[in-house]
Structure 1
Amino acid sequence: MDKIYIYGAGSVGKLVAQIISDINAKNRQWEIAGFIDDDEAKLGQSYAGFKILGGSKELAKGSSVIIGFSKPIQKKKVAEKLNSLRINSPTLIHPSAWLGERVKLGKGTVIYPGVCIDCDVVIGEHATINKNATFGHDSYYGNYITLSPGVNLGGFLEVGEGVEFGIGACTIQKLKIGNWTKIGAGAVVTKDLPANCTAVGIPAKPIKFHIE
């Protein structure tokens, strides 16, 4: 088995460890070497049954690391650090997920249980796709996106970098959503959304703008 480190000793990191365990139950592929965390106070502690080894300086060139954060901006910062260290980031797909033909997933993307992705979907790097999310066909998603549980997305979407969907959010088909936009829990997106906004409600409308 290949060794893999989880970057982030928190709740999302714990879920990533569970996904790795479920993958290994089907096909023994990964040995979790431990958690990487930049919080020095956690050094040497155990979390979710694995040791917290220290910060990124503990990683050797060529190591395999998966990011255990869900916030897009956190993932981007860690990914840039890993890239500078020439660290590998595999893609993890839970055994219960269903992927259609010609689906392309970027490095470091994590697919949780029950996810369904229709054919001809492209998802960028370090995406977090939580439980029971669904993707319509012929769509493109940028790097660092995060889907909370139960998100349902229509086909023919163009979704930018760092977009975050809250629990149970959904969209109709043929929409564009700009970079770093946040969509609230339960929102229904029926029109294009600009970049750097927070959109909530039915139908979803921007309520504020921000700079990431």
Structure 2
Amino acid sequence: MKNIIIWGAKGQGLMAKEVAQELGLNCISFFDNNRNIKSPLKDIPIYYDIEELKRFENEYFTVGIGYDHNIDRYKISKKLSDLGFKSIKLISTKAYVSPSSSIMDGVQIFANSVIMPKVYIGEYSSISPSVTISHDCIIGKGVFMSAGITLCGEVEIGEFTVIGAGATILPRIK
């Protein structure tokens, strides 16, 4: 069983932990910049200091920071990768991803999301539950897509974009 650390100990981090568990990964710790946050789970410790990361060297990681913190998610992910941690794609077993789509490093895809043919999702992007991305869409790096979004075909989403819950983006919008 592979071990994983999760940076972010609130809602998005808990969602990531559940997908990691679905995939047979063992969450061994949470990390967070906010020292006022306690571990959300009694059996998993939380750490705050980047120096404490050294004890987990070479483990897998994901960054569970959501919504308008996508640039932070990206920067922390890059820093962890530079420190020798191994980024992992977290794709829920309850999501569908077309085999012809390209999902880059560190992407999170949550339950009930549907990724259709020839979609590209840039590194460290987060696709919330029940998102539908139709054919030939391009999603830039560090994007956050809230729950219930629909992208019609051939849509392009720029780097570090945040899209709010329930949005529908019509075909060929760039």
Correspondence for 1:36: 31
Once the two structures are TM-superposed, the CA of residue 77 in structure 1 deviates from its matched residue by 2.3
The structure with higher relative contact order (CA 8 Å, sep 6+) is: 2
Q: Any conservation in 2 of the 1:108–1:125 contact (CA below 8 Å)?
A: yes
Q: Any conservation in 2 of the 1:39–1:55 contact (CA below 8 Å)?
A: no
SS at match of 1:62: coil
State the distance in 2 between where 1:174 and 1:157 align. 5
- After TM superposition, the score normalised by the length of structure 1 is 0.74
Q: Report percent identity of matched pairs.
A: 27
The structure 1 segments of at least 4 consecutive aligned residues displaced by more than 3 Å after TM superposition are none
Once the two structures are TM-superposed, the CA of residue 41 in structure 1 deviates from its matched residue by 4.5
Q: Which runs of 5+ in 2 are unaligned?
A: none
Correspondence for 1:46: 39
State the distance in 2 between where 1:51 and 1:165 align. 32
Structure with more strand by fraction: 1
Q: Which runs of 5+ in 1 are unaligned?
A: 25-29, 177-212
Q: Any conservation in 1 of the 2:134–2:153 contact (CA below 8 Å)?
A: yes
State the distance in 1 between where 2:41 and 2:158 align. 33
Correspondence for 2:6: 6
Give the aligned residue type for 1:3: N
State the distance in 2 between where 1:100 and 1:131 align. 17
- Superposed CA offset, 1:141-182 (max 9, x none): 111111111000011122111011100001111111xxxxxx
* Pairing of 1:123-134 with structure 2 (within 5 A): 123-134=121-132
- After TM superposition, the score normalised by the length of structure 2 is 0.90
Once the two structures are TM-superposed, the CA of residue 96 in structure 1 deviates from its matched residue by 0.9
Please report the RMSD computed on the Cα atoms of aligned residues, expressed in angstroms.
Answer: 1.6
Correspondence for 1:57: 51
